[in-house]
Structure 1
Amino acid sequence: MAQKITALKVQSRNPQRVNVYLDGEFAFGLSRLVAVWLQEGQELNEEKIADLKAEDAHEVAYQRALNLIVRRMRSGAKIQENLRRHGISEEIIASVVERLERSGMIDDKLFAQAWVENRSEFRPRSKRALAYELRQRGIADEVIDHVLAETMPDEAGLAYQAALKYSRKLNQLDWFEFRRKLSGHLARRGFSYDIVIAVVDRVWAELRSNVPSGNNLTDSEVLP
């Protein structure tokens, strides 16, 4: 049985949504993008109402995902995870993600590239540590391998950058304490034992050129 639209009212708390009144009574709310073609006097049957509600559910999910991406770049897996937490169906999630991928708003390769570049510049860490972080964000192994092979700078250079930044806090320490703290810092960022030894010696030599650096770190001194 068809019902007539008797009023369309923009919600006071959310001007992006419209309340739909059928036969003089409130029936449901819709996104303005979904309600844009409706008008008072129009008749809606049950099938049309169901279609409008389904379209609205998709649009709400899409706008939520879009808002997440606008705030900061995210992987497809993290978008899906957020939508699930808000009770959105798997069917709608799949449709929203596909729509965002088609428009280029979700691109796991670009996300991984940006992640590696940002980390390398501001918080340098090893290839192993970066791969772990990207897996935690739902990036597929084949994408990770490709991006790291294509984008990853020299690990020794990254370790040196990380060591230089951290060594500013250690400037007043003696060699043994300096070595212990800096090697632990680098190890926690995933750098290998050999790289840690070389970088710690290099940074110490640059800071204290008149003090023998030594290079006899043990595994227990390097590992955090």
Structure 2
Amino acid sequence: MPVGTITAIRQQHNDSRRFNIFIDNEFAIGISLNTLTRTRLAVGVYLDEQGWAQLVACEQADQAMQQALRQLERRSRSSYEVYRFLQRKGFSEEICTQTITRLQELGLLNDADFAIRWVAQRRAIARRGEQALRAELRQKGIAPSLIEAALRSAEDECNEETRAEMAARTVLSRYAASPDWNTFQRRLGGYLLRRGFAIDLIRPILVRLWREVRPADDVSDYADDN
């Protein structure tokens, strides 16, 4: 732990926003411009153990924030995802929590908005059912109340049955040539199950679609009234 007087502050050659701090003419630490500004370091300032600890903590907090921001630039993420990312990068629990809180205060992390956008996107692109969406959002650390609110979002313009049928119709040509009903329902039904649609929702859809592709085939023995 370097303790002594700051004898030089030099801008790094490869990054104009980072500076090398020298204590008693020896290199001590590299810090960001943000850290330099916040700590108000200057040549001649004496750093004791407490001052050094504060400097290190400030630099770690800035590094955590910058890495979190770069992650959010790539795509939106939940608070839990960003927290776990920072943990993997070796930041302390205190720094991780502090960073998440600050990002939430700035409006850059909002789990309610994230959940709504995730549901809308996955319904539109991946044709995911509610069971799958719940599981995906739980894995991302979204609170159950926020998950249910997202699933009830006013942005959703069709119900679960409609979404399941839309998902089935996008791949119907792939399964239309199935040799019999049992094969058809096993294959297309399995596809819908893997996308998180409930089995009791799937069955009448399969019957409807089978009647469309094989109108001559009588499925009344194993179909519900539709």
Indicate the TM-score class for this superposition, using the shorter chain for normalisation.
0.7 to 0.9
- Please give the residue correspondences for 1:1-224 in structure 2 after superposition, counting only pairs within 5 Å: 2-12=4-14, 14-36=15-37, 41-46=43-48, 47-151=50-154, 153-176=158-181, 177-206=183-212, 208=213, 210-212=215-217, 214=219, 216=222
Whether the aligned pair in 1 keeps the contact of 2:119 and 2:133 (CA below 8 Å) is: yes
- For normalisation by structure 2, the TM-score amounts to 0.85
Distance change >3 Å, CA 102–CA 159, structure 1 → 2: same
Name the SS for the 2:152 alignment partner: helix
Query: What is the CA–CA distance in structure 2 between the aligned matches of 1:10 and 1:48, rounded to whole Å?
Result: 22
Letter of the structure 2 residue corresponding to residue 81 of structure 1: R
Deviation readout 1:71-116 (Å, 9 max, x if unpaired): 1111101111111112211111111111000111110001100110
Distance change >3 Å, CA 205–CA 16, structure 1 → 2: farther
- For normalisation by structure 1, the TM-score amounts to 0.85
Letter of the structure 1 residue corresponding to residue 160 of structure 2: E
Distance change >3 Å, CA 49–CA 213, structure 1 → 2: farther
Deviation readout 1:111-169 (Å, 9 max, x if unpaired): 10011001110112222221111111100111112221225541101101110122232
Whether the aligned pair in 2 keeps the contact of 1:76 and 1:97 (CA below 8 Å) is: yes
Whether the aligned pair in 2 keeps the contact of 1:9 and 1:20 (CA below 8 Å) is: no
Letter of the structure 2 residue corresponding to residue 59 of structure 1: D
Name the SS for the 1:150 alignment partner: coil
Deviation readout 1:160-190 (Å, 9 max, x if unpaired): 1110122232243334332221011112222
Unpaired runs of 5+ residues, structure 1, are 219-224
C-alpha root-mean-square deviation of aligned residues, in Å? 2.4
**CA positional deviation for 1:25:** 1.6
Name the SS for the 1:5 alignment partner: strand
Query: What is the CA–CA distance in structure 2 between the aligned matches of 1:178 and 1:163, rounded to whole Å?
Result: 12
Query: What is the CA–CA distance in structure 1 between the aligned matches of 2:94 and 2:82, rounded to whole Å?
Result: 14
Unpaired runs of 5+ residues, structure 2, are none
Query: What is the CA–CA distance in structure 2 between the aligned matches of 1:49 and 1:11, rounded to whole Å?
Result: 24
**CA positional deviation for 1:19:** 1.5
Name the SS for the 1:66 alignment partner: helix
Name the SS for the 2:116 alignment partner: helix
Query: What is the CA–CA distance in structure 2 between the aligned matches of 1:11 and 1:202, rounded to whole Å?
Result: 69
Whether the aligned pair in 2 keeps the contact of 1:5 and 1:39 (CA below 8 Å) is: no
- Higher mean Cα deviation, 43-52 or 119-128? 43-52
Letter of the structure 2 residue corresponding to residue 44 of structure 1: Y
User: How many residues are treated as equivalent by the alignment?
Assistant: 216
**CA positional deviation for 1:198:** 1.6
